[in-house]
Amino acid sequence: MPYKLKIKPEAHQDIQEGIDWYNSRQARLGRRFHVAVKQEFKTLRNSPLFQVRYDGIRCLPLKKFPYMVHFIVEEDNKQIVVLGVINTHKDPAKWPGKK
């Protein structure tokens, strides 16, 4: 049975910023980024038990873009909470409210 997916507002903002940035570089590249994010969300819903990276937070890298999905798994209610979709080229110390 697939897990439920809850996406925090901050993660939605991260995704939109990525879409906007890629669209500013090339037409429709933002759409390709968005499709890649949604594909990884499908992966998470079916198999979320990726390695814990820090403070109980798991990370899943996107395959074609330098981003990682940061999330927690709530086993008791079979829910994945996406905390952020972060550009891996950014300094972690500069991530607002994230590590």
Domain ranges of the chain: 4-94
pLDDT digits 0-9 by tens, 14-52:
999 999 999 999 999 999 999 999 999 999 999 998 889
CB 53, CB 59: distance < 8 Å: yes
Instruction: Give Cβ neighbours of residue 11 (< 8 Å, ≥ 6 apart).
Output: 82, 83, 84, 85
For domain 4-94, say whether CATH 3.30.2310.20 is its number. yes
Phi/psi at 59 (nearest 5 deg)?
-135, 140
> In 10 A of CB 71, how many CB atoms?
25
Q: Name the band, by pLDDT with cuts 50, 70 and 90, for residue 97.
A: low
Alpha helices (H) along 26-67: 29-46
pLDDT digits 0-9 by tens, 46-89:
999 888 988 889 999 999 999 999 999 999 999 999 999 999 98
Q: What is the pTM of this model?
A: 0.88
Cα–Cα dist 99/94, whole Å: 8
